[in-house]
Chains A and B, each alone.
Chain A
Amino acid sequence: MIQLFRVSKYFGVIAALKDATIRIRKGEFVFVTGPSGAGKTTLLRLMFGAEKPTEGQILINGINLGRVGGSRLDFLRRQIGFVFQDFKLLHRRTVLQNVALASEVGGEKWTTTRKKTHQLLRAVGLTAKEHAYPLELSGGEQQRVAIARAMVNDPLILLADEPTGNLDPEITRDIMILFRSINLRGTTVVVATHNKELLRNTDQRVLFLQNGMIHE
């Protein structure tokens, strides 16, 4: 599903990722961990096509990211849900509109979009706040909106960058159950986190990143 072949990413002279070769199979659940600045976000952004590798090749579902652009990349992104560390919510749109956006850009029917959006808002516990604006929500609530938006298109791959960073332990557990359930339905899930608690209790694969180098 996700393959990286000797991928390096440099920002000027600083190496964010060095000679990384990773293979993540369809339906796998993988944690990426490491200290701050280790390159976790860069790795996820490379998998999403938001960054281009300086060296190496990245294949997503058999598609070489280095060779796609324009509308093919847009189409591919609709099959990848991304939970951004800084949420990237539209402040002038309501919670409902933010979640629906990812479905709307794909031209989905409004009735389908609305149904899916409501289901996900119920799943992340935000039904009561569907008409609120992001700035009226707490950091944890905003994060849950971002998670719901990433899942609205039933993505083949879900990439989450520190998805539980602002959540209390109870909601963190609920979110992880949500990720697990979407993973059980066949979605490949990659979660970047430095939450040691999450990793301590997991039997999932863990990739450890340090100074841009990957260790299994």
Chain B
Amino acid sequence: MRLWLYYFKHAFESILGNRLIYFISTGTISISLLLFAAFVLISANFNNWAKSWEKSLSLSVYLENGTDAQEKDEIAKAIERVDGAEIKAFISKEKALKDLAETLGSQVGLLEGLTKNPLPASYEVIFRNRELSREELKNIKKSLEKVKGVDEVQYSEQWLERIEGFIYFSRILGLIVGGLLCLAVLFIVTNTIKLAIYARREEIEICKLVGATDWFVKIPFLLEGAIQGIFGALIALSVLFFSYSMFRVRTIQLFGLPVMDVTFLNAGQYVLVVFLGLTLGLLGSFVAIGRFFKF
């Protein structure tokens, strides 16, 4: 315990003694970790958005022409038996045609030549409080298509694929950007600790001459790296939180419609950024001292 007090005392003394170098170094680490944390924030929000979008997935169950009321009831019951499924609306053939006419707007004339309504009636189904994989959706589609009176079941597969593709791309991009930022932090810490070792090489030599073990000399440097990493991470998180509070953007809107709720990092993500700072700080010091002492 006493030794650890000694190590911390000397680590802090060294930091205070080389204030400018450590200020610049911790500042640069903060900027790198701020970019990383911002990336985590954006990525986490997109993930949440994609998940909520998946949650609000809907199915369209198209009925065969001439389906009677009893069959419609049977289909509705079959839909409600699916876990989490809820019928949002029944769209009759007439309503479907009316909706199409509204969508076409000025080009409604295209429908004038129709002798009979070609559109099928359908049930619009949504899933509440349930995340569905594409496999599950496929199974639901298959089972509903077996019900008598059901012509076809459709869901927005393309959209799902796009979202999944986007999440995959953002993860790859995150790994590349995050990896480069980590390398930058590692480089900064290594060079700062190297400077500190150069400044104190005489002290190291004297400590060794009076019988200090290698670890007795190394531990304060490792602590200096760890302190830089943790401070860098805490400053980065504070700046990010301050910016988040300043802009007060809680909901992103598109054409006046709420598209995405913006939330700040959760506790786990906080710990991740601090842990990353600590690990990079320790690793940077380890690399720097490894060049002066043989392990």
Contact B206 A90 (CB under 8 A): yes
Report the count of interface residues on B (CB-CB < 8 A).
17
Q: A104 interface residue, CB < 8 Å from B?
A: yes
Q: B105 interface residue, CB < 8 Å from A?
A: no
Q: A77 interface residue, CB < 8 Å from B?
A: yes
For the complex, what is the distance from the CA of A105 to the CA of B209, rounded to whole Å?
A: 10
* Min CB gap B141→A, angstroms: 69
Q: Chain A residue with minimal CB distance to B216?
A: A105
Report the count of interface residues on A (CB-CB < 8 A).
24
Q: What 0/1 readout, one digit per residue, does chain B (203-218) give for beta carbons within 8 Å of chain A?
A: 1011111111110100
Q: A75 interface residue, CB < 8 Å from B?
A: yes
Q: Chain B residue with minimal CB distance to A76?
A: B211
Counting chain A CB atoms within 10 Å of each CB, which of B6, B205, B211 scores highest?
Answer: B211
Contact partner, B2, options A88, A102, A107, Cβ 8 Å: A107
* Min CB gap B212→A, angstroms: 4
Contact A109 B209 (CB under 8 A): no
Contact partner, A101, options B3, B205, B210, Cβ 8 Å: B210
* Min CB gap B219→A, angstroms: 12
Q: What 0/1 readout, one digit per residue, does chain B (177-220) give for beta carbons within 8 Å of chain A?
A: 00000000000000000000000001101111111111010000
Contact B211 A105 (CB under 8 A): yes
* Min CB gap A27→B, angstroms: 22
For the complex, what is the distance from the CA of A89 to the CA of B207, rounded to whole Å?
A: 10
Instruction: Give every chain A residue within 8 A of B209 (Cβ-Cβ).
Output: 50, 77, 82, 84, 88
Contact A109 B214 (CB under 8 A): no
Counting chain A CB atoms within 10 Å of each CB, which of B2, B206, B216 scores highest?
Answer: B206
Contact partner, A74, options B2, B202, B203, B212, Cβ 8 Å: B212
What is the interface of chain A, defined by CB distance below 8 A to chain B? Answer: 50, 70-71, 74-78, 82, 84, 88-90, 92, 101-102, 104-107, 109-110, 149, 153
Q: Could you list 30 examples of A-B contacts with CB < 8 Å?
A: A50-B209, A70-B214, A71-B214, A74-B211, A74-B212, A74-B213, A75-B211, A76-B211, A77-B210, A77-B211, A78-B210, A82-B209, A82-B210, A88-B205, A88-B206, A89-B206, A90-B202, A90-B203, A90-B206, A92-B17, A101-B210, A102-B210, A104-B6, A105-B213, A105-B216, A106-B211, A107-B2, A107-B3, A149-B210, A153-B211
What is the interface of chain B, defined by CB distance below 8 A to chain A? Answer: 2-3, 6, 17, 202-203, 205-214, 216
